[in-house]
Structure 1
């Protein structure tokens, strides 16, 4: 008789066993970790993908779209496996470099535009260069240079002379002394230099705004008086009843009235007792007045006598030379 051998029973893993195993493992963990693990084991959280997976998925889709349009993607080799086997290390490196250069050309063009804009902004913010002010001789020399080709050529040729040197490492005081004394005078006409000096003097002597306005008002008043006198003169000339003598007399009177009257200046002689104090308006003096001293009167008389002697006339009290 055959002995009945006991066949091993197959253990079936049921859901109860899994739950029991998880419960036994949960008992060994602390309470806080148990709560965290239970929260992550929810069915809602099982199908969530990570952000990295989504980013890689989006990048792969973009790469496929660009490849479909014929655009090369940076970082991927454009060579086929057969080409890679044929080419050596240097050729592979050169091919990768060329592919990277093509892709970076668009980026470099954008960066160049930004650099150009920045350079333009920097140039605008830079301080303006100060204008060099030339002297009268330098301006005359510049005008003389622009006359014609011959004068320009002669001036350039005249610059090469025995006074010209190009020595280096000279003391500053020596260079300044050489510039002042060891220079050949420029062949510029004196009339041209004098003209520029006169122009510069006119600019420097130009009066201030208040003085110019006062002179303009004075000129306007005088022109108004003369226009009024002309109208009156026309009426006088149209009068047929008056004789020529009467007309001339009336015209002289009208034009004399139109002229500006000179303001009379009253001279007041200062006395010794009032010389130190500030001069006050004397009693009975109206209008403009001027305080003078006896010394000024004597000085004026001596100046007049000197002019008369120079002309050849007799002097004042004493003659030049006197009696012998």
Structure 2
């Protein structure tokens, strides 16, 4: 008999078919379906598949007495009740490493788009505007790139920066052993040194509004910021003020505090590029994430150690 799995996130047909081959799936990718699924199936659910944004609350965990495995499909797990799950000896896993290349690609796409003003140039071209009436934008190559969070994604961002002959600096809570890049012990110090700041740090209470007015002031009027981490990491109101007053030159965000609603304070600003939290989404990344979940689940239900524990 296949174990019962509660799926709380949307899945495409191929992913869902793969998972249904291994599990008795209860599919509830929206709030109404989620509540109904817990009412109808909570007593028999043995595993949950969610993500960092959707999460899983302690009260929901308590409605599943047989729950033994919780998986976040991607790397993030900021809205999972991790401590509560551990108090019940529930195994926690995530998709660490499965979409790193995709996120790093998207971070650089955003950086190039906002620094080179690609969206505005596209619109101008469609209106018949020629280059002589448009402002020139700076190079990306050869500049100083600051990375907030030199984890797996941050490391891949750094490699892409090296391909653009950029000087790389980073901030973590502590230096990364063996790293060739310049370490800064504060975000403000890194921002002051950087031309461009890419944010790739985990979300959660410990990093809320880590990127704030003081960081924008340090980055300066020629500086650009890109956020591909979590919306909570960057203070949206402070960013809107910095962009409006020219404290920084521009910003590009794949994540924002108001998700899934767009950040209203930024929508009318010319020097912003926005995408709807798609940095980690590609056919390759989704396939890798689902395969990683299935590998973790197989190992867990066979009594073996999981591959990517939280």
| TM-score normalized by the length of structure 2 | 0.14
> Which one scores higher on RCO, CA 8 angstroms, separation ≥ 6?
2
Greater helix share, structure number: 1
Greater strand share, structure number: 2
Q: Which has the larger radius of gyration?
A: 1
